Chains A and B, each alone.
Chain A
Amino acid sequence: MSPIIQVNNLCWNVNGKTILDDISFTIPSGQFVGIIGTNGSGKTSLLRSLYRYAKPSSGTVLLNGKDIWQQNAIDIAKQIAVVSQLNTVTPYQVIDVVAMGLIPHKALFEGQTTHDKHLIENALTQLDLLELKNNNFETLSGGEQQRVLIARAIVQQGHNRNPSQQLLIMDEPTNHLDIHYQLDLLQRVKKLGISIVVSLHDLNIASAFCDQLLLIDHGKIIRQGTPQQVLDPELINKIYNVDVTVIEHPQHRRPHLLFSYGDNNE
């Protein structure tokens, strides 16, 4: 199967400062890919350049084999749904926010059809949001808001979606969520059956959910591969400046990181 994303020698400089430095990688269709790295390492910038928000200084990003800057924003929006970090005011009802997913599929004066309403209803059902559909988005908890945005992403894929060509990008979706909602969210995302790129802070969660990890630092890819390949204690020690031991998780057999919490308990 052809890769959903192929990044070639991507560089992004702003005012002489290098944000992304010669990044190349490929994401096979259907994979769950985690981007990890310290604060300010370039995770958000990398994601933005994947969903055609930040224009790179050089290099290319191919989505389903085609350069994203050779396609228009609407074509990209039909293939990539984005759950960015929540920081804007959205004083609308849940159902209105989910319906925004229709925007790339609609001509200027085109209204909602019954077909669209079914799509919205199904997305709400799939994420257990039916009872909340008339609630104000801003009054929801962080976990519920993330679910609404995933429902919107489902709607955004449209009626005749081809899951192998659909990508969902999420920027630190588990921030501010309690552990139940973190796991619940990522399990729901995994069930969508599409390719996922997500930036994560929690390395153990990244290890448990991701097929492939990308560790970036100062805008460069330091290592990419399976969690076993990337979560190397020596490397994590160096990049994150922590003291870490890696064991095998008894359930999923992937790396599990144990951090040293200093000597304050001794």
Chain B
Amino acid sequence: MSKTIAIIFILTLACAMSMVAALSFGAISISFSDIISALMPGLSDHQVDPIISKIVVELRLPRILLALLSGAGLAVAGATLQLVTRNPLADPFLFGISAGASFGAVTVLTVLTSISIMWLPLGAFIGGLLAVFMVLYIAGNHTYQQIERMLLAGVACSFMFSAATSAILYQSDPQAAASILFWTLGSFSQAEWENLWAPTIVIVISVIIFFGYSKQVLAISSGDENAATLGVNVSVVRLLMLILSSLICAVIVANAGGIAFVGLLIPHIVRLTLGQRQLNNYFIIALMGATFMILIDLAARTMIPNQEVPLGIITSAIGSVFFLFILKQRRQY
């Protein structure tokens, strides 16, 4: 128990430090004292340049908070889905969400050209949910073969929406095709304070509900029948977890595009380093996901001067190499 608390403490520290680093580094380096003054203006007499203050408060902070929310949300959703499907490959994006969201975004960009580009996140959100509800409808609420149905329906829906997206893009102008890259590769560059409320509400509420069901999810992870004899309504809990994971994912895709691999990677890092029993310790998962995401976003901003590398490229590149490395190191878990 005390070991777990120590791990949470260290991760909290790491998360806080990565936030400070992300506030400090970038196109302009900002000192720690300037960051403090910008965040808490009344606290000291130290005068901070209004432009510096604006960069910290208006540009970097919302971006970091969106990264924190997305990392935590994706990691917790991934861990929960891996437990309730007992499938180590389960990931929120496996259920067609990102394909559906891309479809929604493309539809707004090309077909519904009369409406404002402002609606693009909403289009992506609706597209993501459309894919998920198709998967849920096919999976049904019977325990029997529910997992197989979910996974296979997810894969099929992904291909279906990808086909539709490709078909529309093929017919449309190159500019739309370029814009759509944003959705497939992901970026936090659009983060603004006024757009943060939706991801905050959805992710915070979902994660709280995940905490509430963590005992039931743990029971399901060691077998449907086992969980049922402990009084768990297996199919309903599993559907609820999938719906919440999908909401998390859809809201992230709508605001930052499809950030691949985080939902798969973080639970596996926890499983490989701390053991499966920590997989439903959502504090650990969320903190690790948040820290990872903040650092990846920092890398995306600073890796190449004056240019942003799309997040999906970094998460997939770092994630896959790191993943292969630990897989080789620890053969069994």
Q: Which A residues are closer than 8 A to B by beta carbons?
A: 48, 51-53, 72-78, 80-82, 84, 87-93, 96-97, 100-104, 106, 108-109, 156
Q: Are A89 and B225 within 8 A (Cβ)?
A: no
Judging by beta carbons under 8 Å apart, are A88 and B212 in contact?
no
- CB neighbours (8 Å) of A75 from chain B are 231
Contact B228 A73 (CB under 8 A): yes
Chain B 7-63 interface residues, beta-carbon cutoff 8 Å to A: none
A88 touches B231 (CB 8 A): no
- Which B residues are in CB contact (< 8 Å) with A93? 277
CB–CB B277/A104 < 8 A: no
Contact with A along B182-218 (1 / 0, CB 8 A): 0000000000000000000000000000011101101
What is the interface of chain B mostly: helix, strand, loop, or mixed? helix
Give CA–CA (A76, B228) in the complex, Å: 10
B212 touching A80, Cβ below 8 Å: no
Interface residues of B (CB under 8 A from A): 86, 211-213, 215-216, 218-219, 222-223, 225-226, 228-233, 275-277, 333
- Say whether, besides A93-B277, A100-B219, A108-B213, A84 and B230 are in contact (CB < 8 Å): no
Are A90 and B232 touching (Cβ within 8 A)? no
Specify which chain B residues have a CB less than 8 angstroms from the CB of A82 in the assembled complex: 229
Q: Are B222 and A88 in contact (CB under 8 A)?
A: yes
Give the residues in chain B near A81, CB-CB below 8 Å. 229
Q: Are A91 and B276 in contact (CB under 8 A)?
A: yes
**A89 and B226 in contact, given A103-B231, A104-B231 (Cβ under 8 angstroms):** no
Q: Given A73-B231, A103-B231: A92 and B222 within 8 A (CB)? A: yes
Closest residue of B by beta carbon distance from A80: B229
B212 touches A76 (CB 8 A): no
- A100 in contact with B218 given A73-B233, A89-B86, A109-B212 (CB within 8 Å): yes
* Assembly CA distance A232 to B238 (angstroms): 48
A97 CA / B218 CA spacing, docked (Å): 10
Whole-angstrom CA separation of A100 from B222 in the bound complex: 10
Specify which chain B residues have a CB less than 8 angstroms from the CB of A51 in the assembled complex. Answer: 229
User: What is the bound-complex CA distance between A89 and B276, given in angstroms?
Assistant: 11
Interface of A is mostly: mixed
Nearest chain A CB to B274 CB, angstrom units: 12
Cβ contact within 8 Å between A103 and B213:
no
Complex alpha-carbon distance, A52 and B219, angstroms? 17
B276 to A, closest residue via Cβ: A91
Give the CA-CA distance A72 to B233 in the complex, in Å.
9
Which interface residue of B216, B230, B275 has the most chain A CB atoms within 10 A? B230
Contacts of B223 in A (CB 8 A): 84, 87-88, 90
Whether A77 and B222, one on each chain, are in contact in the complex, defined by CB atoms closer than 8 angstroms, is no
B230: chain A residues at CB < 8 Å are 77, 100-101, 103-104, 156
Given A96-B277, A97-B222, A100-B215, 18 more A-B residue pairs with CB atoms under 8 Å apart are A53-B228, A53-B229, A73-B228, A73-B232, A73-B233, A77-B231, A78-B231, A82-B229, A88-B86, A90-B223, A91-B275, A91-B277, A92-B277, A93-B277, A100-B222, A103-B232, A108-B213, A156-B230
Write out the residue numbers on chain A whose beta carbons fall within 8 Å of the beta carbon of B219.
100, 103
B226 touches A77 (CB 8 A): no
Identify 23 residue pairs between A and B in the complex whose beta-carbon atoms are under 8 Å apart, listed by A's number: A48-B225, A53-B225, A53-B228, A72-B231, A73-B228, A74-B231, A75-B231, A76-B231, A77-B231, A81-B229, A84-B225, A84-B226, A84-B229, A88-B223, A88-B226, A89-B86, A90-B223, A92-B277, A100-B222, A102-B215, A103-B230, A108-B213, A109-B211
Report B-chain residues with C-beta under 8 Å of the C-beta of A78: 231
Which residues of chain A are near B333, meaning CB under 8 Å? 91
If A89-B86, A103-B216, A108-B212 touch, does A77 touch B229 (CB 8 Å cutoff)?
yes
Closest to B224 in A: A88
- The smallest C-beta distance from B275 to any residue of chain A, in angstroms, reads 8
The verdict on A89 contacting B231 (CB below 8 Å), with A96-B277, A108-B212, A109-B212 known, is: no
Q: Which residue of A lies closest to B211 (CB)?
A: A109
B316 to chain A, nearest CB (A): 27
